[in-house]
Amino acid sequence: IGDRNKFYAPHGRFYLLREEQVFVGVGALQRIDAMTAEIQRMFVQPPSRGRGAARLLVDRLLDDARAMGCDEVRLESLKSLAAAHALYRSVGFVEVLPHDDNRMRHYQDEAALDAYRDSAVFMVLCLRRGRHERAGPDEPGVVRTGSGRGARERRGADGPAG
């Protein structure tokens, strides 16, 4: 998270989702090359699931990928996360074969990498073909929904918190 070339503008984005005064989710986008970005670190705490928090994050990350000029967004997700896959499919992602330049190869030996590929789902969204509507207000980095106890806010970061 401290690597400014990974998740922060202009190379990527990093968001925390907050309900009331508690952080309940995270989502990050990293530029892979001039035309491709990858969603990473998408997670919402179980008590906050099913209320649109993950949708808020994925919508913003896809909007950001478009604003960065990307034509394609990809992601990797463990096979056990079926609800996440349904969310990704609902915005246009499709399953593909494992990416040849999978970033895990930098961290694992070949045997472990094969096991990882077997445990993961690889997905891609072509932004030129898919339609994806902007969610939330135009204020960069902040999205609020609802009021009172059920209110949600998503705050983006232009750099590491300090």
pLDDT tens digits for range 71-115 = 999 999 999 999 999 999 999 999 998 876 666 556 667 777 767
Burial of 17 per CB tally in 10 Å (0-12, 13-18, 19+) = buried
Task: Write the pLDDT tens digit of every residue in 16-44.
Answer: 999 889 999 999 999 999 999 999 989 99
> What ranges in the chain are assigned the alpha helix state H?
4-7, 53-67, 82-90, 110-119
Please list the residues that pair with 157 across neighbouring strands: 14
What per-residue confidence (pLDDT) applies to 46?
A: 92
What per-residue confidence (pLDDT) applies to 37?
A: 94
- The answer to whether residue 136 scores a pLDDT higher than 90 is no
What per-residue confidence (pLDDT) applies to 128?
A: 79
- The answer to whether residue 14 scores a pLDDT higher than 50 is yes
What per-residue confidence (pLDDT) applies to 132?
A: 41
Q: Considering only residues 50 and 2, tell me which one the structure prediction assigns the higher pLDDT.
A: 50
Nearest CA-CA partner of 145 in 46, 43, 17: 17
What per-residue confidence (pLDDT) applies to 84?
A: 93
Round the average pLDDT of the chain to a whole number and report it: 76
d(CA 13, CA 28): 5
Q: At what angle do helices 82-90 and 53-67 cross, to 10 degrees?
A: 50
pTM of the model: 0.72
d(CA 36, CA 52): 26
Residues near 95 by beta carbon (within 8 Å), at least 6 away in sequence:
121, 122, 123
